[in-house]
Amino acid sequence: MFSAMSPPPNGNFGHILIVEDDATIHLMLSETLRENGFSVSTATSGVEMDRALRREDVDLVVLDVMLPGEDGFSICSRLRATSNLPILMLTALGEDFDRIVGLEIGADDYVTKPFNSRELVARIRALLRRTRAFGAKAGRRLGPLRFAGWRIFPAERRLLSPEGVRVTTTSAEFDVLLALCQHSGEVLSREQLLELTHGGAAGPIERSIDVHISRIRQKIEPDPRDPTLIMTVRLGGYIFTPEVEAL
Amino acid sequence: MSARRRFVPGTIAGQIMGLLIIAVLLGVGLASAVLLYLIDREQTGTDREISATVRAAHIAAITREVQGANSKGQLSNLLRDAHVDAGLVSAEGLGSWTPSTPTPRFVDAVAANLREDWGLEPLRRVSPPGDADSIFLEVGDQRALRFEAFRHGGLHNFLLVQTIGALAIITLSILFLSIYAVRWIVSPLSSIASAARSFGRAGADEDELGVDGPREIAETAQALNDMRRRVRTLVNERTQMLVAIGHDLRTPLTRLRLRAERVRDEPLRAAMLQDIVRVGEMLAETLAYVRQGNHQEQPSLTDLPSLLETIAAQFSDVGEKVAYGGPERLAFAGRAQAIGRAVTNVVENGTKFGSCVDISLRTLDHGAVEIQVDDDGPGISPALLGRVFEPFFKGDSARSLEGRGGFGLGLAIARDIVERHGGAIALVNREPHGLSVRMTFKPLPLMQVWEAASAA
């Protein structure tokens, strides 16, 4: 199941199409991505993107929100209507609005400008991994799930308790919980969990999976000292016990 | 001045009411005086004689009819028709008419007229004395009819009673009218005042003022509406400009960041990246500040401990010592993102000045909560306590932060968010040193159930 995470035989991690009108950002982003083992093509507008998509086999689109002519949101929803291609949006500074709209109209992830290229690469990798691991349909555009009365909304990144109260998590905690939900009843090793999530790429201090798990337990377990939802498997990792169903 | 102030009502309503009451009392008083004067004059000279003649004729007519009455029923009918003008009394203690001395009065003229023109013998009460204005006429059976010389018991009395009654009624109606005046004239004034006072404050009612009411007040309200609209337009333009700048800066800033990442010199690269991050944060801070209240987040039921734990985790993940202590579960109806931002800003401030920050949570009465953020920094001088919430306030130079300071908007944003939750934010210095920030939040009404919206 996790075989897709080892590098492909030809050494190429995937083909990325960058849709961004600023030439410098283009250039440097392409370089960075190539250095990290991706092949890259670029487009500066929706029209160019359509042309590139017809010509090339693209694995993932990096899409800027602010484009001349048709804007990123419109391109995103148009693209989403016809394909399951993973989309990572570059959103504006401090605009929760952009992020929420972006995720609602079908983007899979977002990075806020000005971004750190290490973070962008990590996000692209994680997104590709998720797509390959879970298949185009199952892995992305994940609908709301329910476990033990709790509801988890992947697109809105929202978690509701059985009482309908919103419970806040860090994004790493959310990713870990979501990965657990998608593999309920399976034993996941710490390495697998790290692979399935961003792996703490955002912060300078990488927290171990154990820290995230303990924080999640604090938030969702009826008794965090005696966990029943996320159980520790000796020498194995963790297993998520509740039944998970789509809402 | 203060002595005069004491008797002059402070409010417009009071003054209007006072003026109306004084005006009416004066008017009624003057009118009564003039009437009484005219009536007195009427009782002199020819007028007086005519009145006496008319009165005598009336008395004589009633007396004749009473004398001619056959039955008791007829008698009482007669007396009733006479409109209490006449009364049947015992004839005891009545004596023959002697004119009043020294000055003859109206009653004497009526008595003389009765005797001369109608051949009736007027009597007056002699024992006990008194009742000088009454004329009695014998009607047989030791009974007499009693008449007031003045019709209806005397115009003076009549006027006095009526005047007091009228005054009472008028005063009462003025009181009610004044209450109306308060509503009609004064309440638009109060709403104008409160609109002016709350303009631009967090959570203020932004509705247009009603322009009904008296014309001057309607004009004032209209002028204030216009002014608010202009100020709002001005502010919105500035906001748009700042937002546009923020937007446009992000592209060059992204370029700069990508370039800086390629710098080979390690210390130079680190320094450049740090500055770029700083600029990005300052832009984000400014945008967050100018956008306050623009996209208003819907209140939802949110678990505050998980929110505070998440904030503590985000800070500890970047190496700060931030911890949460308090209840494990607490649902609160509020704007979760906004509360998170307020607490984050305060914690951020704490980590700048102290090495260790504690977040705690307490419930208050009526569903309100208090979030307290304690740091172990130097605290703040009492002189600056009131100023730290001003936008762009940076503190004194002794607390300068070597480039770690933002624009000084963090606490202003926090206060704004707290006030939008009907709460208050207070700073208290801790012993031996450190600062404690206490924020209270009141629950907000839930507009819609979020799950319903997302399930659809």
**ipTM (interface pTM):** 0.71
Whether residue A12 lies within 8 A of chain B, CB to CB, comes out as no
Whether residue A116 lies within 8 A of chain B, CB to CB, comes out as yes
Measured CA to CA, the distance from residue B355 to residue B378 in angstroms comes to 10
Task: Report residue A234 CA to chain centroid gap.
Answer: 29
In this predicted structure, the answer to whether residue B395 has a pLDDT above a threshold of 70 is no
* Closest chain A CA to residue B245: A93
* Burial A23-50, CB ≥16 within 10 A → b, else e: eebbebbbebbeebebbbbbbbbbebbe
Measured CA to CA, the distance from residue A236 to residue A230 in angstroms comes to 13
Q: Which chain B residues are Cβ-neighbours of A92 within 8 angstroms?
A: 246-247, 250
Whether residue A95 lies within 8 A of chain B, CB to CB, comes out as yes
* Closest chain B CA to residue A145: B455
Give residue ranges of B with CB < 8 Å to any A CB. Answer: 246-247, 249-251, 253-259, 261-262, 276, 280, 283-284, 287-288, 295, 300-303, 306-307, 309-310, 313-314, 317-319, 328, 331, 336-337, 340, 449-451, 454-455
Q: Which chain A residues are Cβ-neighbours of B306 within 8 angstroms?
A: 167-169, 219
Average pLDDT over residues A26-30: 89
Helical segments of B261-381, H only: 266-290, 304-316, 336-353
Nearest to B309 among A32, A66, A218 (CB): A218
At residue B204, the pLDDT reads: 57
Q: Which chain B residues are Cβ-neighbours of A151 within 8 angstroms?
A: 451
Range picked from A228-232, B192-196, B283-287 for highest mean pLDDT: A228-232
Whether residue A222 lies within 8 A of chain B, CB to CB, comes out as no
- Name the helix (H) or strand (E) containing B303: strand B300-303
Best B243, B253, B254 member to test A by mutation, with max A CBs in 10 Å, is B254
Average pLDDT over residues A2-17: 61
Q: What does the angle CA B274 – CA B277 – CA B280 come to, to the nearest 5 degrees?
A: 150
Question: Cβ contact (<8 Å) for A24 and B255?
Answer: yes
Please answer whether residues A56 and A31 qualify as being in contact, where contact means their C-beta atoms are separated by less than 8 angstroms: no
Least confident of A34-43, B10-19, B84-93, B399-408: B399-408
Strands A39-43 and A60-64: unpaired
User: Residues 6 or more apart from A32 whose CB is under 8 A from it?
Assistant: A117, A120, A121, B258, B261
Whether residue A22 lies within 8 A of chain B, CB to CB, comes out as yes
Question: Cβ contact (<8 Å) for A218 and B328?
Answer: yes
In this predicted structure, the answer to whether residue B2 has a pLDDT above a threshold of 80 is no
* Closest chain B CA to residue A155: B454
Q: Which chain B residues are Cβ-neighbours of A160 within 8 angstroms?
A: 451
Instruction: Band the pLDDT of B44: cuts 50, 70, 90.
Output: low
Nearest chain A CA: its distance from B384 CA (Å): 30
Q: Which chain B residues are Cβ-neighbours of A169 within 8 angstroms?
A: 306, 310
Question: Cβ contact (<8 Å) for A204 and B450?
Answer: no
Instruction: Band the pLDDT of B402: cuts 50, 70, 90.
Output: very low
More confident residue, A131 or B301: B301
In this predicted structure, the answer to whether residue A69 has a pLDDT above a threshold of 70 is yes
More confident residue, B294 or B425: B425
In this predicted structure, the answer to whether residue B156 has a pLDDT above a threshold of 90 is no
Question: Cβ contact (<8 Å) for B454 and A144?
Answer: yes
Question: Residue B391 class from Cβ within 10 Å (0-12 exposed, 13-18 middle, 19+ buried)?
Answer: middle
CA dihedral B419, B420, B423, B426 (to 10 degrees): -30
Instruction: Band the pLDDT of B396: cuts 50, 70, 90.
Output: low
Question: Cβ contact (<8 Å) for B306 and A164?
Answer: no
In this predicted structure, the answer to whether residue B348 has a pLDDT above a threshold of 80 is yes
Average pLDDT value over all residues in chain B: 78
Question: Cβ contact (<8 Å) for A218 and B247?
Answer: no
Instruction: Band the pLDDT of A200: cuts 50, 70, 90.
Output: very low
Least confident of A127-141, A227-241, B72-86, B128-142: A127-141
Q: How long is chain A?
A: 247
Q: Which amino acid is at B160?
A: L
Please answer whether residues A75 and A19 qualify as being in contact, where contact means their C-beta atoms are separated by less than 8 angstroms: yes
Least confident of A132-146, A225-239, B248-262, B309-323: A132-146
Q: Which chain A residues are Cβ-neighbours of B249 within 8 angstroms?
A: 93
Tell me how far CA of residue B249 lies from CA of A114, B246, B276, B283, B295, in angstroms. Answer: 9, 5, 12, 9, 22
Question: Cβ contact (<8 Å) for B287 and A29?
Answer: no
At residue B151, the pLDDT reads: 54
Structure tokens at B11: 């409010």
Please answer whether residues A126 and A199 qualify as being in contact, where contact means their C-beta atoms are separated by less than 8 angstroms: yes
Q: Which chain B residues are Cβ-neighbours of A205 within 8 angstroms?
A: 317-319
